[in-house]
Amino acid sequence: MHAAAIKALFPGLALVAGVTLVAQLVGRQFPLVGGAVAGILLGLLIRTRHAPAARQLPGLRFAGRQLLQWSIVGLGLALPIRAVLATGLESLSVTLVTLSLAFLSAFAFGRLLRIPDKLCVLIGGGTAICGGSAIAAMTPVVRPEDHEAAFSLSTIFLFNIVALLLFPALGHWLGMSDRGFGLWAGTAINDTSSVVAVAYSWSKEAGDEATIVKLTRALLIVPVTLILAWVFLKREAASGVRFEIRHAVPWFIVAFVAASAISSYLPEFVTRAAHQVASVLIGAALTAIGLSTDLGRMKQTGWRPLALGLLVWTTVAASSLLLQGMLGAW
C-alpha cells in the first residue's frame, strides 16, 4: 500500500478509534452488552445524526473489513489446532443441516413471495454461510443486478443487528450452556463479526466455540460457490465470464488455521495478548460497520426481501436449536 493510500485512511480510522474507545468503556459498564455490540450501536446512532465525510470513508471501509479479518487471525493464535479441529468436526453435522435448510427455505419462500432466483440465492447463501462475505464471493458467479446485491446485503445486515440484540436474551431465557450458546451463535448468526461479538459477550468459552464453528461454516463458501459456478456459468457460458477459484477462498480463514497450528508453541502471555487485541479489533470493525451503514437506504429494500430474510433466518436459528436439543448439546 502506497504512502498516500495509508494517509487517506487516517481520518476514518481516527473516527473509528474514538468511538471504539467510548464503546469499550460502555461495554465494561454493561458486560452483557459488551464493547463490540456497543460499538455497532453507537456507530449506527452517530450515522443517523451525522453522515461521515468523504475523506473518512476509506478508513471506515478498511476498518470494517481488514481489521475484522486480522482479528480472526489473532483469535487463531489463542486457539490450539486440536481444539479447532475437534470443535469443527463436532459441529459439522449441525452446520450442514442448517446450510441445506437455508437454501431450501430461501427457494421455497422465495417462490411464494415471487422473488427472483438470484436474489433468493444471495439471501440464502448469506444467511447460510457468512453474510456479506458469502454474498461477495457468490456475486461474480451469480451475476445479480446491482439492486439485488444491495437488497441482499441490506437484508443480511438487518438480521445481524437483530441477532446482536436478541440472541443473548434468548440464550439466558433458554438456559443454554456456554458450549450450547457458542454452537447456536456460530451456526445461526450471519456475519463473522456479529458471531464473535455476541458469543464473547456471553463468555470466553462460548466465544471460542462460536469462532471455530463459524469459520468451519465459512469454509463452505468454497464448495457452495463452486456448485453455483457450475450451475450459473454453465447456463451463461456464452457470456464469456471467467471464474477463478481463489475468489472463493477467504484468505483470513487460511491464516486463522496457520495461526492456530503454531498456537501451542507460543508463550501464554502472547496468546493472551493476541486474544485481547483481537477483541478490540472486532469492536473497531463493528464500530466502522455501524458508522458506514445508512439505515435510511435500507427502507428502499421493500418488504419482500426482508420477509424472505426473516423466514430463512428464523428457519436456520430454529433448526440449529432443534438439532442441539436432539444431540444434547445445550
Euclidean distance between the first and final Cα of the chain, in Å? 46
Assign 220 a pLDDT band (cuts: 50, 70, 90): confident
pLDDT at residue 7, rounded to an integer: 85
pLDDT at residue 240, rounded to an integer: 53
Does 215 have pLDDT greater than 70? yes
Does 30 have pLDDT greater than 70? yes
Cell numbers 452483557: residue: 32
| pTM as predicted | 0.69
Q: What is the pLDDT of residues 105-158, one digit of tens each?
A: 999 999 999 888 888 888 988 888 877 667 766 776 777 776 676 677 777 777
Mean pLDDT, the chain, integer: 82
pLDDT at residue 236, rounded to an integer: 56
HSE at residue 165, side-chain half, CA atoms within 13 A, is: 7
Distance between CA 317 and CA 167 in Å, rounded? 10
pLDDT at residue 299, rounded to an integer: 65
Phi-psi region of 328 (alpha: psi -120 to 50; beta: other; left: phi over 0): left
Q: What is the pLDDT of residues 259-310, one digit of tens each?
A: 888 988 888 888 889 888 888 887 888 788 788 877 666 666 678 888 998 9
CB 72 within 8 A of CB 256: yes
Distance between CA 88 and CA 258 in Å, rounded? 15
Query: Which region among 81-85, 144-148, 206-210, 256-260 has the lowest average model confidence (pLDDT)?
Result: 144-148
Q: What cell does 28 get?
A: 465494561
Higher pLDDT, 19 or 221: 19
pLDDT at residue 314, rounded to an integer: 92
Q: What cell does 17 get?
A: 478509534
CB 256 within 8 A of CB 76: yes
| DSSP string for 290-317 | HHH--HHHHGGG-HHHHHHHHHHHHHHH
pLDDT at residue 305, rounded to an integer: 84
Average pLDDT over residues 55-74: 84
pLDDT at residue 136, rounded to an integer: 65
Structural domain count of the chain: 1
Cβ atoms < 10 Å from Cβ of 96:
13
Average pLDDT over residues 311-329: 86
Axis crossing angle, helix 68-76 with helix 251-263, rounded to the nearest 10: 30
Does 182 have pLDDT greater than 90? yes
Cell numbers 481488514: residue: 66
Distance between CA 313 and CA 71 in Å, rounded? 26
Assign 197 a pLDDT band (cuts: 50, 70, 90): confident
Range of the domain at 91: 3-327
Q: What is the pLDDT of residues 221-247, one digit of tens each?
A: 767 877 877 777 666 554 555 555 555
pLDDT at residue 329, rounded to an integer: 63
Query: Which region among 13-22, 172-181, 246-255 has the lowest average model confidence (pLDDT)?
Result: 246-255
Higher pLDDT, 283 or 59: 59
Assign 181 a pLDDT band (cuts: 50, 70, 90): very high
